[in-house]
Chains A and B, each alone.
Chain A
């Protein structure tokens, strides 16, 4: 920006800034030093060491899982609402028929690789059969483990 000032004004400003400039830098450094020496201001978490105690919040959206009791029974009726709600086709609900001829859940196939953890499937489920767990360490070296079948028992209900 072009300014019209006299030479005297220019030098006045120049010398003023020679004083205020270093002073402002010292002010900034004092803040840095305050944060450097005060142990209360440390916010870093020692991540791999605190793995035992690190817990996610109950609402955290991790991997999808099926709510099952000890015998492996679930509430899923293979209605396919979750499959419809999923924006990126991460869920395939494969239904089958039981001996009585009723439609039941065969395999609940979940493609974790394409899942964005939006949670729309959990919201869409009318029976409360699925939930998102608090698992956050989901990296893997084997891509085959990303395709999973969520129900343990086939053709129940």
Chain B
């Protein structure tokens, strides 16, 4: 390859006119700040362009599914907090719905409303972390603080209701652990009014920013066919133009009683994956406002408490967390307190698997953007 640009250098500094490019490998991670946890990405590079990417998992493997075999069902609910720590309250529900199918218990109306409201609060919290990390990974640390500011308010509400900010351990078969306090509804209402204003600011801050547009439009395109083939779900799938949401396709809890849209974008690039999460925050706010209007004043919030013992059988549940489809499969070989096997299908693993398809031909800095918009949580992949 001839490089005429350097021909005016003095003779001592002259660079070889004929250069051969050679592929080389670099490691990204496991402690790279933009990999969202301990994930190692082995990159095959041609110059600054990525040719191939191989993700390596397992740095924080804790053997949760194996641990579950020696745990009772209730203890596994506490363990499910530690999978995807950003959507802990949603993981709780995924496990609990599978247990309820086995125990054959129903949930009173107030209990269902509590569930839906906490689900949507958790979804907003997770998407706000995405907003912060997306801006932060692109170099705007202001976004990081903006996103975490509102998330802090959600965690305050969660702390008051469940007793813990992140590891909530709240839902139980037949309802939840506690009733909500009286201050819950006014606090959520005040928070929604605040978030409405804040989101306007945040979108103004990032959505039209020229640096974000240049770095995200047309980057990391995942086609509709690939997204389906790799098993992507959640916002990543919907940004590629597939209208699939478990809340609509296979409604659990009382999601069929609410009026909300499922935002779908069609380009499948980083900017669409950003926009869809912003749109989903607005949809969650819509659901929360409907919940506040219809929230039952009194009535039971939990069906009659029973010991958690499952009859022999196989039970499956799937829910839509903020990241995507979260499914739990429980096998009970003997009637009792302990499972034979619990398997979890987490949303982040297929997204990382599809990463190789998205980054080919892009630069390393684009890989950071793509990783941010996939919003993976590595402890949930490794488990």
Contact = CB atoms under 8 A, between A and B. Distances in A.
B210 A17 contact: yes
B59 interface: no
B78 interface: yes
A126 B160 CA distance: 24
B160 A28 contact: no
A123 interface: yes
Given A59-B161, A118-B167, 6 more contacts: A24-B210, A27-B204, A32-B205, A56-B159, A60-B163, A119-B169
B148 to A, nearest CB: 10
B191 interface: no
Contacts of B167: 116-118
A49 B160 CA distance: 23
Interface string A92-120: 00000000000000000000000011111
Contacts of B75: 85, 87, 120
Given A32-B142, A118-B169, A24 B178 contact: no
A: interface residue count bin: 20 to 34
Interface string A23-45: 01101100110110000000100
Identify which of B78, B160, B161, B162 gathers the most chain A CB atoms within 10 Å of its CB.
B78
Given A25-B210, A28-B209, A123-B177, A116 B78 contact: yes
Contacts of B162: 59
Contacts of B177: 119, 123
Interface string B135-148: 00000001000100
Interface of A: 1, 17, 20-22, 24-25, 27-28, 31-32, 34-35, 43, 56-57, 59-61, 85, 87, 116-120, 123, 132
Contact of B152 (A25, A43, A59, A120): A43
Contacts of B304: none
A66 B213 CA distance: 57
Minimum-distance CB pairs A-B, first 6: A21-B210, A1-B218, A59-B163, A118-B78, A87-B75, A31-B205
A1 B206 CA distance: 22
B369 to A, nearest CB: 14
Given A1-B221, A21-B210, A32-B142, A120 B74 contact: yes
Contacts of A117: 164, 167
A17 to B, nearest CB: 7
A85 B205 contact: no
A80 B45 CA distance: 59
Contact of A119 (B159, B163, B205, B206): B163
B71 interface: yes
Contacts of B205: 27-28, 31-32
B163 A28 contact: no
B278 to A, nearest CB: 15
Nearest to B82: A116
A61 B164 contact: yes
A35 B150 CA distance: 14
Contacts of A31: 201-202, 204-205
